[in-house]
Structure 1
Amino acid sequence: MTETDQSGRDMVQEHGWLPGVTLRADYAVRDWQVGVTGEVYRHQITYDGQMQSGVPFASDTGTTQTRVGIEVSKQVADAARLIGGIEWDRWQRDIAGRGNVLGLNERYFSWRLLAGAQMRVLQASWAQMRARALVVRSAPERLRVRFENGAFDDAHLTTQPATGMRLALDVYPTAWPKLAITTEWDWLRVGRSGDAVLFRGGVPVGFVTQAEHARRALSVRVDYRF
């Protein structure tokens, strides 16, 4: 994740590994298929940011990402399917404080629409491969911020709508017919929120804003199909 200021300069970068688990159930009728998916990823990642004054600040962020989605697809050719879907995304950031710098607890919630296609790109004796491309359109993220030790009252912000892309390659090895290996690239850029009044004990003391940010993930998943 990268946050940028209004001049386009990077202010924060978070990076690391998020191991997780995915469950999916599909139901097919003729050329139609409906799938329900749930995903949870969680781990500590590195936080490279800065103080309000611009002084660099390094820490860790406890990160949890949860997605629940419904996808509908239709076979339109022997090797092609059209795909549409909706998903709910919850993103949790627990930025650890250091020394006299207090941490933050942030929760992001958003709904997304997805549309695209899937095509078979290889049919060989050793494997089958399918490529998938989806455009992602996200409703504004609703954000709740809690400050460590109750330094300020909870803040609530709403970002701009977001647009992204999700690209994937699925490999189905012939030797292991119940296994599938998926490599996926997920990218989403979210516009800066408006200013929200910051309160301490109900008294306004300033303003807080969620900067423009981009979320990027390269994932490799091994699926076992029942």
Structure 2
Amino acid sequence: MKKQCVVVGLALALCGCGDGSDDIFSGVDGSSSSRLTGVYSGSFTDENLSQRSVLGIIEKNSNFWLLYSPSGSSGYAGVMRGRFSLSSNNFNANGIRNYNFDLNTTSTAVLNGSYTAERNLQGNVNNSINQPFNLIYNSELSQDHTGISSLVGRYSGLTTTLLNSVTTTVNIDSSGVISGIVGEQEKCAFAGRVSSENNAPYYKIHLVFTGSAGTNCLIGEQEVDGILLNQIESQSIYIVTENSNQQDAALFIGRKLAD
């Protein structure tokens, strides 16, 4: 199936928030925020010196997801997945997994630079001064979510992986159970749960993909973990996951259907 870019109205982003201390965490079991938790909008320069927009989400444990656009265009061309380490007002992330949907490839990347809490992150990609990035904290999108009840409904959109971009329907009920169907001819299903995350702008998500005979079900018959962003104003959700062997990622963007 021919790949398609998903066109969306939201600019891409990263995230930020914190208390100014040097340790990444205060507290245990991931219950407290890192200084970078949130959502940012921005851009970076790729290895061909082309500008790409970025939507990024940094979790409370400093793991992050960076969704980036095609060169000079809107939509999403891939996902970077990694974890930030902080020292004073500097950060770095080594061994980032870069899932490029346009090229159907995975690779590694490095980010390093400086940040101002709840304001911005800026630095370089792959330690190159020719690949700068700048990500601006989005205070509106970084607000805490409003609970599972705001997600309840049926959504329709596209799921994109390294090999496919296919029509998908998603259902979320009031208890956080999520289920859906991927594809139109060789259909496969997934099911799982959405979990609320305290003091965070995102939800945690766990899915199990199950294919029928002869289907690959996008990223194989396996369990995946990721996050969900609820865009209440546009009545849409973003789901991004990575499989356990870090060989593929899946991005779903869908709009809520009328009752």
The two structures have a TM-score, normalised by structure 1, of: 0.36
TM-score (ref. length: structure 2): 0.32
Structure exhibiting the larger radius of gyration computed from Cα positions: 1
